[in-house]
Structure 1
Amino acid sequence: MAYHGPSYGLSRECQMKSQAKFDLHRAREACDWVEAVTEVPLDWPTSDGLIDQLAFGHALKDGIALCTLLNHLQPGSVKRINTMKAPFKQRENVEMFLKGCEAYGLKSQDLFQVNDLYENRNLYMVVDCLYALGGLAQKRSFDGPVIGVKVAMENKRNFSEEKLKESHKIIGLQYGSNKGASQAGMTAYGTGRQIIPGEAQKNLSVDGQKIIGLQSGSNKGASQAGMTPYGAPRQIIPDGLHRNRE
């Protein structure tokens, strides 16, 4: 058994997220599949069987059931299975199971680390590994009990040289045409917003030069004639009347 202190802070948060991903129903199906293939019942900690994550980890942590399962799928994958209860022997069994799965064709992202099982860290990854292994077994035409989704078979298409040359004769719809989608007239990212389109702005500038203002050549427009300069004394009597009185 692995002994380590309780987790706190971020480690505790990661541990809780990992425990939340564990699906007891999927774990029970995986264990039933292991027992059906190996024809050997798992060693549960209590008579109640699989009741939680700890029971799942206890049944598989010695690696004996996992190695036996792999030898049924691919005979000779694990040469020697350790039956001793020593921790390093149990870890060695799990390591040989993982190496055998990789040699069997299982992808590295579908595997788990030894501590994920032996220290009950990420038991949901062990369940996912068993499901992936079951799907790969179906692909390899295993005639025993199955679990998971069958891995799709590769379906290559081989075209002759003549068929490939025919593709060069196809002319795209936009070849020789300027009516396709383009970015013409679009405002570049980051520039100011143009209320008036650029072409209309040019026309306004040209047309504006042809307009003659109403005050051009005229003295009838608004002016400051007759206004008192700022700071001068106020004139009660206009200048014209003042001169007439004199």
Structure 2
Amino acid sequence: MSFQNASTNLDQDLKNSRQSKYQSSEPEVKQWIYNILSIPKNIQTQYSQNNLDLLDILKDGEVLCKLGNLLPIDNKPTSKYKNSKMPFIQMENISFFLSTCKTIGIPHDEIFQTVDLFERKDPYQIIITLISFSRKAHDLSPTSFPTLIGPKTVKVKPTIPKKPIGLSSKYN
């Protein structure tokens, strides 16, 4: 693979791999957010002129909470979000979104931690969460979330091949 280097260790290789995946997925995720929230082109241009990447746009948690507020669920945690420059309030906004993700059934291993976003610890995990969110949100409200991001889900499970006779146990 192109991101492997003999002068780096496994942790660095994994970090580089996830960073590469983040960079390739980021434009699609940003465009999906712009489309879902109907963000005008002039604001999108302003974001790109200021060199704001996805993490910069999401860091205060407000955009995430706006996405969560589009869901047709009762007692939305995201409805409590606040506009603030204080880090504690911004992290609280992010946690409101993460609570919403849990509420709609996104698996725990696909949900990022607040520090992944706020401190830029694992950018690709944010992408994974938003891909999962787009799928669940589309299932709950196809009118508010008409498009999906990321790879398509498999509808038909693959058949499991039978073991050769010599490898199968006598109890199967």
Structure 1 and Structure 2 fold alike (TM over 0.5): yes
Structure 1 residue runs of 5 or longer lacking an equivalent are 1-7, 154-180, 184-246
How far apart, CA to CA, are the structure 1 residues paired with 2:108 and 2:39? Answer: 28
The correspondence of residues 56-205 of structure 1 with structure 2, limited to 5 A, is 56-75=54-73, 76-77=75-76, 78-144=78-144, 145-148=146-149, 149=152
**Residues 1:45 and 1:11: Cα distance change in structure 2 (over 3 Å):** farther
Work out which of the two has the higher radius of gyration on C-alpha atoms and give 1 or 2: 1
Contiguous gaps of at least 5 residues in structure 2: 1-7, 157-164, 168-172
- Structure 2 SS opposite 1:40: coil
Q: 2-side partners of 1:46 and 1:98: how far apart?
A: 27
For these two proteins, the number of residue pairs brought into alignment is: 146
Taking only the aligned residue pairs, the percentage that are identical comes to 25
Report if aligned partners of 1:64, 1:81 keep a CA contact under 8 Å in 2: yes
Which 4+ stretches in 1 moved above 4 angstroms? 8-14, 41-47, 150-153
Greater relative contact order (Cα 8 A, min sep 6): structure 1 or 2? 2
Higher percent of residues as helix: 2
Other-structure match for 1:16: 16
Alignment of 1:40-55 (within 5 A): 40=39, 47-48=47-48, 55=53
Alpha-carbon contact 2:68-2:97 (below 8 Å) kept: yes
Partner of residue 186, structure 1? none
Q: 1:13 to 1:103 in 2, by over 3 A?
A: same
Residue 38 (structure 2) aligns with: 39
More displaced 10-residue stretch of structure 1: 88-97 or 10-19: 10-19
Separation in 1 of the partners of 2:112 and 2:89?
18
Q: Residue 106 of structure 1: CA displacement?
A: 1.0
Change (3 A) 1:9 1:45: farther
Q: 2:170 matched to which residue of 1?
A: none
What's the offset of the Cα at 1:50? 8.8
Q: Is the 8 A contact 1:94 1:114 kept in 2?
A: yes
Distance 1:17 1:68, change over 3 A: same
Distance (Å, rounded) in 1 between the aligned partners of 2:141 and 2:46: 36
Q: Provide, for residues 74-106 of structure 1, a one-character-per-residue CA deviation record: whole Å limited to 9, x for no partner.
A: 355223111011001110111110011110111
Aligned-pair Cα RMSD in Å: 3.4
Contact 1:106 1:132 in 2 (8 A): yes
